Structure formats: structure tokens, C-alpha cells
Structure 1
């Protein structure tokens, strides 16, 4: 695994400020997925939420099925399906169908569910979610493999010689576990040999986390259960906004980012935002603490390289899509990333163009 093989995508939770049309917000999300496909990004991930007001998609597979019909090559991931809320047979069946609709582009992201309000409405004890994740992952993996009928009996689901009548188009569909760098998610990824979506880096007011130490937990769990985890399957998930100048980038997002910090993280989730941070400096503090990348393409290149070296390496970088600014400026940020950031992490074409320039320069021996 090297920086030259780094993949790039987007993570659309989605976050949409209250007071805006949810119908148009979902349409804009779909427009963005088409744009990302045109720009050549590797994959896009869509979340599942039932409360909180800001995140309005409750069935990511339905959204991704619509996206599949309007895109050509981009990978389509659930980011994530809250597995403890669903029967594993239905989770496996739906991702298999999406894989066929997308011609082999589906990715299954799974999470334990982070919202207590969601769990409460469904009558689920939040304390059971990690056990449910473990049991559910095992069933989903066995069902997707199609190797034999699956019989399981737990206190929240049962399977009686169950088989998917439609297996995925891909022989080995990627399965990823969402992690806020918790030890539980790292252990589950290791136990089942799955990919990881590292979501916790952008949580305002959250503690600093040693990702290298957390990765060791995943590796130790994998060794204990005779599975394997690879840093190629580790995705780092962070908000990014780029502009031609650093001042312009901050100006673009300041109002929207402050709304997200206070109206969503503080008022909705109860997370601490303003502690010792001077008023008006919250966005700068978020960037300084590594919770977002805001600046120029050069700033983004430097930040990703630093994060890669500090973390020990990862295989995918996902930009969290947030309504911090206008659609035009959001799209321009992704344009700058595609044109000026991504090529620096797949440099072969850039290197050959530089060699071509040198070869043609006056006085150069051919």
C-alpha cells in the first residue's frame, strides 16, 4: 500500500440544515453523485438516519439504486446501514439486488447505530447494539457467500436454512464497518476481516484518538480469529472545502460550518463545541484540531500526506459532504480536488507529462 494507490470518494450522510426543502436536498445529493462520477471519483457512500432533522435519508439502498441508473463507474456504498435495526437477511438481499442494478458497484457499509433516538423509537436497547452487530455481520457474510444454507437463532432474529435466491454480482462484495475509532468497531472489523470507515476524526469536541493504536486492536482481533485486515481497506472520512485561496475557502464555509457546529452538534447531539475557543474562531479550531481540511488544493495535499504518515497509512480518503456553502462552491471544491489534489496521489501521468516537457525543451538531447 502506497500513497500513489490512494482512492478518493465522498461520504454523504447527508447533512442538510433545517428549513430547506428535503425534496430538493435529495435531488441536489443525486446531482452531486452524477458530478462525482463525471469527475472520476472512486466511490460515494450514503447514510441512514431516522431522527435529528438534518440527515434525511432513511433507506440508502433506495437512493443508491436511483444513483446507479444515472452513473457509469462510481462505486456505491451504504454509509451506513445500521445493522441492529434490520433483519440480516433483508440487509443481504437488498445489497445483492443493488449490486445487480449497479452492475457490480455496490459496497456494504454497516454500523451499530449512533442515535439513541433512533434506537428508542424502534424499541431497541442501545446496550445490545454491539452484540447485535457481531451476530448480524456473521449472518450477512454467510448469506452473501452463498456457500450453504444458514440457520441461526438469536433473541432478535432467526434464520431457518436461509439462502439468498439472488446472490451479488460481485464474487466478494466489500463490507465495511463504520468506526468513530471505538475499540468495539475495531475489534469487530478484525474479528470478521472487514474494511473500516474511520468517521470519528471530524467530531467537534471529541477526544484526540491515536488511530495507529486503534489499528493495533483491529490487527490483534484479526489474529485471534484467524482473519485479516488491511490498511487498503481503511477509509479516512473528513470534511473538506477547497478554493483558490485559503481566505476564500474559509469565507465560503464560515456561516454554514458554524450552523453545523452549533445547530447540529451542539443543539441536536449535545456535543461540546465552544469550550476555550474564542467566539468566531470555531471553524479555525476545527481545522487546527484535524477535524476538517479547509484551504487550497496545496493545503489539502499537505494535510492528506500528514494524516497518512501520522496514522500509519490508509487506502481511501472520503470527503464528508456538508451544506456549508452554495452548490456551485461545493462543486468547485470537488473540481479542484479532482483536478489538482487527486493526481498528486496517482502521479504516473503527471510524471510522464513533466518528462515530455523536458524532452521538448530547447537544448535538450533527444
Structure 2
């Protein structure tokens, strides 16, 4: 199990008197701490036009994080390709990979929030086809060769990037946690990622989606060793379950009220579906083992949510590193001996 830190950048300036500049600085400090504590990855979301997510250009903040860290992988979850020129995406994230010494993790998607499509004046009806066209452009651009592309949505003739990624193959994920979409991604040979409570109501539903994905991936002849499935769950760990719930619950509910899709769920709903990692280290270890059993091998811990104070985020991060991560290192050792 790999452990990552995920931030959506939901901000409530009027409610908490937290400016965008303060939130961005706090997330950078949390990223530096995650690097020190041994987290494998950090992930930043891209959103537009709403307090639900104020980070519009993840590659810029990830570049700042690269300067402050040494080891942690730098991920974006996700770049909404349909809102961007794919050549610009290829250039920006190639530069990030170079400046970070080859630490880029790239999550891609086609967008899902109606107000963002409206804001960019993009018709979402053909978003899947537009996404596929854009992805083909990025892959050609990253070869470093002169190329042309004459797709339905994007056309380029005889261009060549002067900066390409340091990694020979940048790890790519596509946001998909519904069965049909996950199977399509599997056939293409990419990894899937996502937020379980957005797409299903139980761990068993998730098991079926991952199983369908793996079957499609393997039937298409792709390498099983390259499968890596990151899932994002709200996380807050404290010494007692009562303290964890008391501190985290109002912030989870504020986040759920602010999100722009699937409104109506509350803390109790997600907890009943086992879609939260909130409690003692033992509680979280137990629930993570259930997710590992259904195929999750990379947890993206959403710790900065709903205006949760910076100091509380840092305490939870430290407790996870000290008491949760070692349990999975020991389990990995035992499995390797068998």
C-alpha cells in the first residue's frame, strides 16, 4: 500500500478568514511535511470558478513543491484536458517533470462539473471524444520527435517540443470509477483513479468496478505489474475515535455541502458505507485492509478538507506516518516471505 496526500483546495474565505494565499502556503507546508514523514506521493486537484476548488493551475504549485521537497512524487488529480490546449498541457507538465527530477504523476480526466464547462464555454456532450483526441496529442508530443496530428478536435503540423519529460514514461492515470468507463480505460492500458463515494455506495461495488477493470486490462494483453489503483478518501486520525469524529465531522459535512455534484450525503452516510478513514490508527488500519483486499494499492488521503485547521492536518499526518504506515510495511514483509 502506497500512501499519498490529496488536496482539493476547497476554501471558505468568508467563513474562516483564510485567504487563497494562506491556503496555498499551508498546503505547501503540508507537502514538505509529507516528504519528511515518508509519504509516497502528493496530489493536487484542478478546479475553476468555485470555492469548491481554487487551484486552477496545479503544475505551478507543484513546481513550487518540487523546489521544497526531495523525494515525494508530485501528482495532479486531475487535469481536465477538455479545458486546455493539449500542447500546452504537454509542455507545462514536461517542464514540471524536468524541474522535479522525474517525479511527476499525471492524472487526466474529461471534466464533470457543469459550471466549469459553462465557464469555459465548452460543450460537454462530446467530452470523451475530445479527451481521447487530446491524449493522443500529448503522447505524440512527449516522444520528442517532430509530429503532426489531424484529429477531429485538434490539428497540429510539424511541431516538436524542446523540453520533454525526464521520465521515459510518465505514469498516467485516468479518472474513472464506474464500471463501463473503467473497462474502457483498462482496454487502453492505463490505470484508473478516483473517489469511491462519488461513484458507488459500498466497498463491494468498488470491488466489482476494479475487477471489471482488471479483466479488461488483462484481456487486452497489458502488463499486470503496471496496475496501480489510487483511491481518495477523507482521512483524519486521532488518539480516540470520539476525538477524531468530533473534530472532523463538521469539516466533512462542510466539504460535502460545498461540492458541486451528488449533494445530499452527510458524514453518517459516508461512514455507513465505509467511505471514510476517520478514527484511531487501529480503525483506519482495519478499513484500509478492506480497500487493499478489493484492489486498492495506493491511498490518496484527503486530509485538508472543509476548512480543517492546518495544525490538525499536521497532527493527523504525523499519526498516520507513525502508526498506520508501519502496519502495511510489516504486512508487505510477511507477504514477501510466503
Task: Say whether the 8 Å CA contact 1:189–1:218 is kept in structure 2.
Answer: yes
Q: Cα offset for 1:177?
A: 0.8
Question: Pick from 25, 28, 43: which aligns with 1:27?
Answer: 25
Q: Secondary structure at the match of 1:10?
A: strand
Whole-angstrom distance in 2 between the partners of 1:17 and 1:202: 22
Q: Secondary structure at the match of 2:98?
A: helix
What's 1:113 paired with? 111
Consecutive unaligned residues of structure 1, counting only runs of 5 or more, are: 1-5, 274-281, 352-366
What's 1:329 paired with? 312
* Distance verdict in 2 for CA 1:341–1:15, change over 3 Å: same
* Distance verdict in 2 for CA 1:171–1:210, change over 3 Å: same
Report how many residues are paired: 329
Q: Cα offset for 1:192?
A: 2.9
What's 1:316 paired with? 298
Q: Cα offset for 1:111?
A: 1.1
Q: Which segment drifts farther, 207-216 or 63-72?
A: 207-216
Task: Give the 4+ runs in structure 1 shifted more than 6 A.
Answer: 348-351
Larger radius of gyration: 1
- What is the correspondence of 1:18-167 to structure 2 with a 5 Å cutoff? 18-19=13-14, 20-146=18-144, 148-167=145-164
Q: Cα offset for 1:96?
A: 0.9
Question: Pick from 235, 248, 253: which aligns with 1:253?
Answer: 248
Whole-angstrom distance in 2 between the partners of 1:258 and 1:348: 33
Task: Say whether the 8 Å CA contact 1:80–1:110 is kept in structure 2.
Answer: yes
What's 1:354 paired with? none
Q: Cα offset for 1:119?
A: 0.9
Task: Say whether the 8 Å CA contact 2:175–2:194 is kept in structure 1.
Answer: yes
* Distance verdict in 2 for CA 1:222–1:258, change over 3 Å: closer
Deviations 1:302-340 (A, max 9, x none): 00001222x2x2321110131453211111111010000
Deviations 1:162-193 (A, max 9, x none): 322212111111111122x1245414422332
Task: Say whether the 8 Å CA contact 1:195–1:230 is kept in structure 2.
Answer: no
Whole-angstrom distance in 2 between the partners of 1:224 and 1:250: 43
Task: Say whether the 8 Å CA contact 2:81–2:134 is kept in structure 1.
Answer: yes
Whole-angstrom distance in 1 between the partners of 2:96 and 2:288: 32
Q: Secondary structure at the match of 2:108?
A: strand
What's 1:271 paired with? 263
